[in-house]
Structure 1
Amino acid sequence: MVKKPTKGIKSGKASGRGYRDLTVKVKTARGRKLSSKLWLERQLNDPYVARARAEGYRGRAAFKIMELDDKYGFLVPGARVVDLGCAPGGWIQVAAPRINALGEAEKKPQGRIIGVDLQEVEPIAGAEIHVLDFLSEGADDRIKAWLDGEADVVMSDMAAASSGHKQTDHLRIIALCEAAAELAFDVLAPGGTFVAKVLAGGAEGTLQKQLKTHFTKVANVKPGASRSDSSEKFVVAQGFRGRGDD
């Protein structure tokens, strides 16, 4: 049973430190590759992994969206949210209470959150989750039908499967982010927000140009919860102007 996340915790007030004071070393077992050993060692010693486990979140990525929302304030009560590639559901776990998806805050508007992914995702209270390829034809219309209107926020923590080649992986994730942005242009209401993971590397110029055309403010941020050795960053585009005629 998943432990209910602690309410009211702000990412800026807790860095993830304090959950593990000793460094864990993993012995090389027969059949275990060195890369697997190093990954497991990093997981065991990652304070955000420990914090996620302690607070009932489905992954350390939950703290990234916490930090971004704490800074930019797009997950507000009453917001209509779409989470693309939502598995395993950590971002939804954070968003649902912040938008009042369960209606627990009686004097505040109740929000809605739709999660979509290629695979089935274990249900999360307050969210509606669908199996959908967001790249498929008509995906935008299906999402708006499920949401019963336009979205206030489209967010994505998706990453393409790693090829092991840094440049190729960079191009793949930028292409994925561009596709997510295109869907956001179709489903966002005026004034809406688009949040997505990208990789720093110099190939995102076209994406940045598109976002600056369609939004009044575009910020590029590396949350503290992102690993220091990772090239990932997040783009937060706010104040959607509308698609217009492109």
Structure 2
Amino acid sequence: MSRAANGLRTRVRTAKGRKIGSTRWLERQLNDPYVKKAKAEGYRSRAAYKLIELDERFGFLKGVERIIDLGIAPGGWTQVVRRRLPKSVVVGIDLLPTDPIDGATILRLDFMDEAAPEQLTQALGGPADLVLSDMAANTVGHPQTDHLRTMGLVEAALDFAGDVLKPGGAFVAKVLAGGADSGLVAELKRRFATVKHAKPPASRKGSSEWYVVAQGFKS
């Protein structure tokens, strides 16, 4: 590695056997202030700051007691919840392995598995105040297909939220560029008092991700 002339930016030499794309990713990570901040503050990923910034804007963590975290790996969002709400009950699920988090129950299971909703509900032990979803489908490189697959997960997460949220609860989910489509927005507005789209500062400028924040579940 070498320092640029101004001494501020770390550059990565292209190593033998390393693809150019991998080098660019590594260089971006090394120079990302959110990555550095996450390491300094003990968060597992920079994604923790996306949730922090969304909550600062919308206040959906205030007073919540039971939370479900869909797509929990590597655990940054649940870390935020547990630090801010140490008495909360958090249940997370992911197909990927996730290291334990104090005070959280983590299920290693595909959310789309038919057994997942019941296991999540039983582990939570009561109606949820908040359902979080940072899930996104694995990309195949075809924008329209990638969008449809991810929105399919959002729709499934919303259906689940409709079954487990208590009146007044909230739903926060990752969507892609352009936000939720008109049909999904209509369904969100039918079920919640307010529906907003936001791109938190911690979300990289070049990323296609946005978040939908729905509050005031009508049951």
Whether TM exceeds 0.5 here: the answer is yes
Contact 1:120 1:130 in 2 (8 A): no
* Equivalent AA in structure 2 for residue 95 of structure 1: V
Structure 1 runs (4+) deviating above 3 angstroms are none
Per-residue CA distance 1:46-91 (angstroms, 9 max, x = gap): 1101110111100000000001111211213452000001000000
Cross-structure match for 2:128: 151
Cross-structure match for 1:161: 138
Cross-structure match for 1:5: none
C-alpha distance in 2 between matches for 1:166 and 1:29:
30
Q: Which runs of 5+ in 1 are unaligned?
A: 1-20, 102-110
SS at the partner of 1:217? strand
Pick the aligned partner of 2:112 from 135, 140, 165.
135
C-alpha distance in 2 between matches for 1:212 and 1:77:
23
Alpha-carbon distance change, 67 to 50 in structure 1, aligned in 2, over 3 angstroms: same
Pick the aligned partner of 1:71 from 39, 57, 61.
57
C-alpha distance in 2 between matches for 1:67 and 1:220:
13
Alpha-carbon distance change, 33 to 233 in structure 1, aligned in 2, over 3 angstroms: same
Contact 1:77 1:100 in 2 (8 A): no
Instruction: Using the aligned pairs only, state the percent identity.
Output: 55
Cross-structure match for 2:100: 123
Cross-structure match for 2:40: 54
Alpha-carbon distance change, 209 to 233 in structure 1, aligned in 2, over 3 angstroms: same
Alignment partner of 1:186 is 2:172: no
Contact 2:66 2:90 in 1 (8 A): yes
Counting matched residue pairs gives 213
> What TM-score do you get using the length of structure 1 for normalisation?
0.82
**Alignment of structure 1 residues 105-116 onto 2, 5 Å:** 111-116=88-93
Q: Which runs of 5+ in 2 are unaligned?
A: 1-6
Contact 1:159 1:197 in 2 (8 A): yes
RMSD after superposition: 1.6
Pick the aligned partner of 2:174 from 181, 197, 201.
197
C-alpha distance in 2 between matches for 1:165 and 1:225:
25
- Following superposition, the deviation at residue 113 of structure 1 comes to 0.7
SS at the partner of 1:216? strand
Pick the aligned partner of 2:196 from 219, 222, 227.
219
Alignment partner of 1:98 is 2:123: no
Per-residue CA distance 1:91-146 (angstroms, 9 max, x = gap): 00000122233xxxxxxxxx211111113311111211112222222432222211
C-alpha distance in 2 between matches for 1:152 and 1:138:
22
C-alpha distance in 2 between matches for 1:202 and 1:71:
17
Cross-structure match for 2:19: 33
Pick the aligned partner of 2:187 from 204, 207, 210.
210
> What TM-score do you get using the length of structure 2 for normalisation?
0.92
